Amino acid sequence: MTKKIPLIFGCPSESFYAKFNAPRAFVAELRPGLEGMKQVSGELLKKGVKPVVICDNMMAFCMERGLVSGVHIFSAQVRGSRALCRTGSLIAAICARHHGIPVVLHKTLKQPSAVSMSLLKIGGIKVASAKIKTYVPALEEIPLDLIDRTVEPFKKEG
């Protein structure tokens, strides 16, 4: 893998797919629901884009090796100087800033809910004991100063 390609972290809206024209893209899998691996990759395939799935913990490695051209994250809401995004977007933004990679914020309607996000299974298969405590935050705030470009105007709240 030698050519730089974009990295998608989160669940885009239709308008993103309609405009996206890269031949290949890294797609973060998005644990625990795997929406990145399943829905986002599926949508990209329909548009003729080849998705290359990575685990959520591989973003910094791909950036450090010079494989990422830009990072796309998604938010339904901006409050003051912060965008509310899918958890993990903050990792993508901080790592991108460290590596000098542009971060683009897109508007989405698809915000994840914390309901039934179980870490104890993957694809219905148990991976950890039911006794283990888990913490699965669905959303986190991204300071807007980590964002290089906002694609669609957000109605600012707060």
Partner 1 sequence: MKIMKESVLFWPARLKGLTLFILDETKVPGQVTYLKVRRYQEAIRAVVDMKTRAFGQFLTVCYTFILEMRKAKGLSRNAQMRLLKRVALAFNRSRPTFPFEEVTSMVLGLAGKVSSSPRFYEDFLCAMEGFLEKGIRAKRYQRAQEAASLIKDGDTILTHCNVSGELPLVAEFCRQHKKRVKFLATETRPYFQGSRLTAWELDREGFDVTLIPDNAVAKVMSDGEVDCVLVGSDRSAANGDFANKIGTFQIALLARYFKVPFYCLAQSSKKLASGRDIPIEVRKDEEILSFAGRRLAPRGVAAFYPGFDVVPHEFVTRHISLDGQMTKG
Residues near partner 1 (CB under 8 A) are 1, 26, 28-32, 34, 37-38, 41-42, 45, 50-62, 64, 87-88, 90-91, 94-95, 98, 119-120, 122-129, 131-137, 140-141
Dmax (CA) of the chain: 45
Report the residue number, 61 or 152, with the smaller CB distance to partner 1.
Answer: 61
Cβ at position 84, least distance to partner 1 in Å: 12
Cβ at position 92, least distance to partner 1 in Å: 9
Of the candidates 20, 15, 8, 16, the residue with the CA atom closest to the CA atom of residue 70:
8
φ, ψ (nearest 5 deg) of residue 102: -65, 145
Are the CB atoms for 93 and 28 separated by under 8 Å? no
Which amino acid, 151?
V
Report the residue number, 50 or 152, with the smaller CB distance to partner 1.
Answer: 50
Cβ at position 50, least distance to partner 1 in Å: 7
Strand partners, 103: 71
